[in-house]
Amino acid sequence: MAAMRAIAIASNSTSCLVTRNPVLLKQKPFIQSLFLKNLKVAYSSSKRSYACRAIYNPEVQVKEEGQLETLDYRVFLVEKSGKKVSPWHDIPLQLGDGMFNFIVEIPKESSAKMEVATDEAYTPIKQDTKKGKLRYYPYNIHWNYGLLPQTWEDPSFSNSEVEGAFGDNDPVDVVEIGESRRKIGEILKIKPLAALAMIDEGELDWKIIAISLDDPKASLVNDVNDVEKHFPGTLTAIRDWFRDYKIPDGKPANKFGLGNTAANRDYALKVIAETNESWNKLVKRSIPSGELSLV
């Protein structure tokens, strides 16, 4: 039976004038310029309006269709009116003060490989399949896992800093290290702490390490060194988990760029800014979308 869970998305602004944000202004010029550029986007397409898209701020509910762990199972986000919205395209990325929205696809301590269906209308969350069968990780993932909305890893872009690897054609992934187990489709306010440059079969698949702002330890961690201090061993555990999870299926281990270590918060913000810019080009149709849904 379908169920709904209310989720309120808080707004931090009523205008596109982000220059008032003191934290943003303290960022390195490259990061600042990318975010300012993207936040001031005002354009339209044949299917939707993108004027001031960065602060579009719906109050949404989670609506489940079908039975969990079946091929028909989907998790949609809907407004109170019943209108569906895309967790990838319609939920705002940026909240200001270096904070972002994060959408949970896989709750911690679970193994069903859930992901946004980037090729379906309104990009609902579903369980991934291979040869018509539902996919599972060989063991539980120990952190909440999901995506940053309004980001995209461009498969035509070769990253010279990460072995020239091309993007994996998906939104950017987030590994949220807080203590609570979250729900599929839940939207959390997070702050990025670090970034891992995973290379999966030659494709660059960023993992942003973050913590939910409502976690008891959120005030203690603000950068990569704080993670090691307050969550000792976590960065290594995340890297090793993603390195090895395909080995039980007979595939080689994944690799990591950037010296096989987690980059700091500033680098994570740079990744977010670059992939947000790529998403903007995608939805403006400056880049071919292929089979990706822009609805």
Q: Exactly one of 43, 50, 56, 137 is catalytic; name it.
A: 137
Helices 29-39 and 265-283: angle between axes, nearest 10 degrees: 30
Name every residue whose Cβ is closer than 8 Å to that of residue 36 and which is 6 or more positions away in sequence.
Answer: 18, 19, 24
For residue 276, which amino acid is it? N
CA–CA dist 16, 273 (Å, integer):
16
Q: Residue 137 catalytic? A: yes
DSSP 111-174: EE-EEE-TTSTT--EEE-EETTEE-EEEEEESSEEEE-TT----TT-EETTTTTEEE-SSPPEE
b (16+ CB within 10 A) / e for 229-239: eebeebbeebb
Distances (CA, A) of 85 to 2, 90, 114, 216: 17, 6, 18, 31
What amino acid positions are annotated as catalytic residues?
Answer: 137
